[in-house]
Amino acid sequence: MKAYQLAAKGETPALIDLDMPAPATGEVLVEIKACGLNFADLLMIKGTYQDTPAAPFTLGMEAAGIVRATGDGLSRFKSGDRVAVFGGQGGLAEYGVFPEDRCLALLDDVSFEQGAAFQIAYGTSHLALDYRARMQPGETLVVLGAAGGVGLTAVEVGHRMGATVVAVARGDDKLAVAKAAGAHHLIDAETPDLRQALKDLGGADVVYDAVGGDAFRAAFRACKPEARLLPIGFASGDVPQIPANHLMVKNIDVLGVYWGGYMKFKPQVVRDSLAELMGWIAAGAITPHISHSLPLAEVETGLELLRARKSTGKIVITP
């Protein structure tokens, strides 16, 4: 079988031939039909992601496909079942072996591409806004990086939860994508005074930030009392420092969100969230935005699109 593997830290990953794996106790063998790319894949290649596996390993954090074999001691899945998988690795291949408890039954009304596109991005946004921020209908949600892989899902999930969504993104094209996902107000990230633009809209109850840097600092200063800031990531490369005295004076909460961490200490929170999201997808309430769908042979093209920020929503690889 073909797999996109990193042989050693510091090397360039490559598409190679591997023997077909066999599932051990508690595992399933999945014929992979789709795998979503994530910014974390780029960090793993560089060796800077907090959960980078030991090399050699096959890249690809989230996938969807068909169970083809099961190890001993399983009861939830059988050969032929459709599943979505958050494996953390192993998705950029024709087949993969994954722990059974990392698999979720894929509803018939959800495609393989949707199954591979929604888990990390939508899961992060839903867990952040619902479980962490306890966002309520009618509150104002500011999404920084609103056309990116996770930002766009925050726009859609926030709209679905009844928030007034303010999308901040760079350029008319990306803002149009955010508007189509349900944003009520649009602000170009290059606006000279982002803080004032947000305050002109009444300020923020919840800030969802995958960007960091100056955008975070501007949104922080536009927060209402008792606002909640959600640091999701730092695509700008600038990790902002937060003045504790300002938190105190304005009674603001900063709630860190690392979705993958919940798989280690509260996995049921993730499973419940994903099950609710999959129901929304099946019902047409949310629609994962896939800007590019590429074969496994073109995985490096997909990663370059991600690296150059030339995609909106999700890039999916279809082995």
Q: Which helix (H) or strand (E) holds 29?
A: strand 27-36
**Type of residue found at 186:** L
313 DSSP assignment: B
- For the chain, what are the domain ranges? 2-119+266-318, 134-254
Q: What is the pLDDT of residue 10?
A: 85
DSSP secondary structure string, 174-218?
HHHHHHHTT-SEEEETT-TTHHHHHHHTT-EEEEEESS-HHHHHH
Q: What CATH number belongs to 2-119+266-318?
A: 3.90.180.10
The mean pLDDT value for 217-229 works out to 97
Q: CA-CA distance, 56 to 64, in Å (whole number)?
A: 22
The mean pLDDT value for 64-76 works out to 90
Q: What is the pLDDT of residue 73?
A: 82
Q: What is the pLDDT of residue 148?
A: 83
Query: Is 51:38 a contact under the CB 8 Å cutoff?
Result: no
Three-state secondary-structure class, residue 148: coil
**Type of residue found at 63:** A
Of residues 104 and 75, more confidence is placed in 104
Residue 278's pLDDT band, with cuts at 50, 70 and 90, is: very high
Among 263, 157, 258, 266, which residue's Cα sits nearest to residue 206? 157
Q: What is the pLDDT of residue 110?
A: 96
Q: CA-CA distance, 223 to 313, in Å (whole number)?
A: 26
Q: Is residue 63 predicted with pLDDT exceeding 90?
A: yes
**Type of residue found at 45:** I
Q: CA-CA distance, 110 to 108, in Å (whole number)?
A: 6
Q: What is the pLDDT of residue 174?
A: 92
DSSP secondary structure string, 45-84?
HHT-STTPPPSSEE--SEEEEEEEEE-TT--S--TT-EEE
Residue 22's pLDDT band, with cuts at 50, 70 and 90, is: very high
Q: What CATH number belongs to 134-254?
A: 3.40.50.720
The mean pLDDT value for 282-293 works out to 91
Give the phi and the psi of residue 202 in degrees, each rounded to 5: 105, -5
pTM of the model: 0.89
Residue 263's pLDDT band, with cuts at 50, 70 and 90, is: confident
**Type of residue found at 164:** T
Q: Which helix (H) or strand (E) holds 228?
A: strand 223-231
pLDDT tens, position by position, 153-209 = 999 999 999 999 999 999 999 999 999 999 999 999 999 999 999 999 999 999 999
